[in-house]
Chain A
Amino acid sequence: MALLESRQTRDRIKEAVRHLVLLCWTVAVLFPLYWIASMSLKPPSEALQLPPNWLFLPTVYNYLQLFGEPSFVSALGNSILMVSASVLLVLLLGVPGAYVLSRYDVPKKQDVLIWILSSRMLPPIAVVIPFFVIFRTFNLYDTRIGMVFMYLTINISLVVWVMKAFFDGIPVSLEEAAMTDGATRFQAFRKVILPSALPGIISVAIISFIFAWIEMLFSLILTNQRAVTVSMQVFKFIGSRSIEWSMLAAASVIVILPNLLFVVFVNRYLASGLSFGVVLKE
């Protein structure tokens, strides 16, 4: 009896210690996010007060300022347009390719997969130099089409790897059944396999969106004005002295917001997506 009680006490202490450590990390994770969000909602005169004013009347003043800035609005529009277009395109290219890698006897399949992964090993700075020269030659410098293409280089290997893992997990008998019913192979792929892989497609689309959305190097080198992205625009704010800290905070919140929403809503799929499907069997 005493033994049992002491074990229960010990378990309870363990659990308490566990929560203590985890709460410390929770604070470390959430505090910076809270800090930047609260700063963006304070009037500039209060934003930098220390000790901070914990109870303040939130104001959208900084956001109004920010959206009154034409360069920021057009950069935001550019990012939304270019990133969405590139995600659509990367799915159109990557999903059928992944299907072939999953279902057909591709010669040297393992090498092909490593080759595809190796495009992720190329540091973006090494990729961007040749494309900088080419873009200059073919008038693609500072264009939206050029940036849409550059985003492909970030995401295509991810899409192929994750989707291959997803297709591997869908039984071949599904297509076989559709084909016995008279569908062609392509119809089976389009009407049976694609819908079953939809959760994977959505998660990989979102992860691709995030990776392109936060990209800065390509924008820094390949854009100037017309195709500037929102990250680059925020970076320009950091560089200039005249910008208010609170406006900078508001701009950063705008950049973080879509990702944050995605992460909260699709966090269940994130693990499988990010780990290239290795821990898919969870």
Chain B
Amino acid sequence: MSYGSENATGTTTSSVGSRLRELWNDYLPVWLSAPMVLVMLLITVFPGVYDLYLSLVHYKQTNPQQIGEFAGLANFAAVFSDPSTWHSIGVTLTFVGGSLALETALGFTLAALVTNVSNDYAREFYRVAFILPMAVAPVSLATIGRIMLNSQVGVIPYVVATYTPFAAPNFLAEFPLATVIAMDTWHWTPFMFIIFYAGLSSVPEQLLEASRVDGAPLWRRYVHIVIPYMKPVIFVAVLIRLIDLFRTFGTVYSLTQGGPGTATQLVSIQIFQTGFKYVNLGQASALAIAYLVGILVICNVVIRYFGFGGVWD
């Protein structure tokens, strides 16, 4: 006797009840997943289709009588004939590439160093301390950056001026993009670190022992044993970070608003400004569609090239 049928004792109401219960049990996976599927459709298909629609019509708040009129590819043409779009693409690729490379290299190095620390307490201390920056919200990161890098009152220019032969630099004015990359590296190296750390501790001890006995030098142990073994972990970490780097907005926007000039104008910031400062949602959507396609292509190339092999069982 299953729980479901024990109340089915004849009266109309309870037979309706048992009918419903049967429906519930028979189609359980449908009921359990339907809300998720509906929301997923709403948040993936709807924005995609609506963005596409907006990208093909005129939608400029300054020109209200034209809103909704079919524009063909005019929005795309306008976006791509604008040199600032190409500039933003260059800024974005530099930002994503630079941050990803630094965070991966630094995250791996730190994880390898901490793994090899022999004292348990010290290892635990490093592990907790190193992931703290992840807790910092973009807006707080921007506050910290503005306070510490300020050329008049900032502690970092002060230290440089006092303890090195160099003059106090104005980081955000002189090297804006490099500063933004450095801050992102501070913020998100912890993500790489924690994943690589977990991955490294799953490398079988016998493998390492065998290579140690062979007297292989350290770098060979990593290049030939550790890194190949960790390939799925490295792949997932890099892919997630890659996706998130393309999504970056808050950190850079609240730090520089894309400036000075357009020095740190990521594509996402340009879309925001086109859409909400110049109130041209048609062109903003065209750029968003192009950006989305670009990201999907890059992510798919990465997925094809490195493969999901080993990630799922």
Residues of B within 8 A of A13 (CB): none
Find chain A residues with CB under 8 A from B240 CB.
274-276
Q: Which residues of A185-238 are within 8 A (CB) of B?
A: 185-187, 189, 210, 213-217, 220-221, 231-232, 234-235, 238
Q: Could you give, for residues 109-128 of chain B, a 1 whenever the CB lies within 8 Å of some chain A CB and a 0 otherwise?
A: 01001101110001000111
- Judge if A97 is at the interface, Cβ distance under 8 Å: yes
Which residues of chain B (61-81) have a CB below 8 Å from chain A?
none
Contact A126 B132 (CB under 8 A): no
A52 closest partner in B (C-beta): B155
Closest CB in chain A relative to B253 CB, distance in Å = 7
Q: Contact check, A187 vs B236: say whether CB atoms are below 8 A apart.
A: no
With a cutoff of 8 Å between Cβ atoms, the chain A residues found around residue B291 in the complex are 123, 126
CB of A53 within 8 A of chain B? no
Distance in Å: Cβ of A278 to nearest Cβ of chain B: 5
- Nearest chain-A residue to B3 (Cβ)? A184
B95 adjacent to chain A (CB < 8 Å): no
Q: Judge whether B51 and A129 touch: CB under 8 Å.
A: yes
For residue A4, give the distance in angstroms from its CB to the closest CB of chain B: 16
Alpha-carbon distance A172/B127, docked complex (angstroms): 34
* Residues of B100-142 contacting chain A, CB below 8 A: 110, 113-114, 116-118, 122, 126-140, 142
Interface residue tally on A, bucketed by range: 35 or more
What are the residues of chain B within 8 A of A115 when measuring CB–CB? 40, 44
Question: A129 touching B285 by the CB < 8 A rule?
Answer: yes
Question: In the complex, A166→B125 CA distance in Å?
Answer: 27
The reply on A3 being an interface residue by CB < 8 A is: no
Number of interface residues of B (CB under 8 A): 93
Q: Which residues of A contact B1 (CB under 8 A)?
A: 182
Contact status A100-B29, CB under 8 Å: yes
Measured CB to CB, the residues of A under 8 A from B are 15, 18-19, 21-22, 25-26, 28-30, 32-33, 35-36, 39, 48, 50-52, 92-94, 96-97, 99-101, 103-104, 106, 110, 115-116, 118-127, 129-134, 152-153, 156, 160, 182-187, 189, 210, 213-217, 220-221, 231-232, 234-235, 238, 245, 248-249, 251-253, 255-256, 259-260, 262-264, 267, 270-272, 274-276, 278-279, 281-282
Known contacts A115-B44, A210-B135, then 11 further A-B pairs from the complex at CB < 8 Å, ordered by chain A residue:
A33-B132, A33-B133, A35-B155, A97-B32, A123-B246, A129-B281, A187-B3, A221-B272, A234-B143, A252-B137, A275-B236
